[in-house]
């Protein structure tokens, strides 16, 4: 019989326990190793874990992997994939142990942020950038994340209150909607999974975090 989670944590954004409810520090180990490898590179902003390893339904026996966002300053890239090249020796040991790490790159530049409100008005055309702004709110390792969050915060401060509220709502919706992708796996691995209660709790948690980071 497949193992199923009996209870899901609803009061914090990061839950690094596995399907059995046991603490698994591998996700934080990977984050730290990625950070150490990439922090010397000027284009590196930060690394943020996401997916099952951060939400309490990670299951090695079902082939769960470790999902990581890598944030980059697009203006400082050399035109190649230097970050991915530096990551290869870091991730290879995990691959050999059967714990694959999936990398998703997120790119930033100040021009896109300066045009932030125009992007909001043209959703879904600029949905990619809004998703990047949303993912920048995720708990991450990387000192430069604070700079980019502050750039967004300063730009937002010049906007009317109605635009600020619209921006926050769009960012929160992006983060909450991303949670829905996991529902089939969560239903398989969690007893009595209540998607409505889960989404409500995540919306509350994300709203608090987004408002704190972007409105202060």
Give the pLDDT confidence of 122-175 residue by residue, as tens digits.
655 466 778 888 999 999 999 999 999 998 999 889 888 988 998 899 999 999
- CA 119 – CA 126 distance, rounded (Å): 6
Q: What is the CA radius of gyration of the chain?
A: 18
pLDDT at 25 over 50: yes
Q: Note whether 151 and 110 are within 8 A (CB).
A: yes
Which sequence spans correspond to the domains of the chain?
A: 26-214
The two beta strands, 44-50 and 66-73, are antiparallel
Residues in the chain: 216
pLDDT, tens digit, for every residue of 82-91?
Answer: 888 999 999 9
pLDDT of residue 5: 66
pLDDT at 40 over 90: yes
Q: What is the mean pLDDT of the chain?
A: 87
């Amino acid at each position: 019989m497949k193992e199923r989670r009996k209870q899901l944590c609803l009061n914090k954004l990061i839950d690094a326990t596995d399907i059995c409810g046991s603490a698994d520090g591998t996700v934080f180990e990977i984050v730290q190793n990625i950070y150490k490898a990439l922090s010397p590179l000027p284009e590196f902003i930060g690394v943020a874990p996401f997916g099952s390893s951060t939400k309490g339904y990670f299951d090695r026996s079902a082939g769960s992997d470790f999902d990581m966002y890598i944030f980059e300053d697009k203006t400082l890239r050399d035109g190649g994939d230097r970050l991915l090249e530096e990551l290869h020796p870091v991730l290879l040991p995990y691959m050999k142990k059967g714990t694959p790490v999936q990398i998703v790159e997120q790119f930033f530049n100040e021009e896109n942020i300066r045009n932030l409100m125009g992007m909001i008005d043209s959703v879904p055309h600029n949905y990619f950038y809004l998703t990047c702004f949303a993912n920048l709110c995720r708990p991450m390792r990387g000192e430069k994340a604070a700079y980019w969050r502050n750039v967004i915060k300063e730009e937002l401060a010049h906007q009317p209150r109605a635009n600020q509220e619209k921006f926050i709502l769009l960012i929160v919706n992006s983060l909450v909607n991303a949670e829905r992708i996991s529902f089939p796996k969560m239903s398989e691995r969690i007893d009595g999974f209540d998607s409505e209660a889960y989404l409500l709790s995540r919306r509350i948690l994300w709203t608090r975090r987004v408002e704190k980071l972007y409105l202060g």
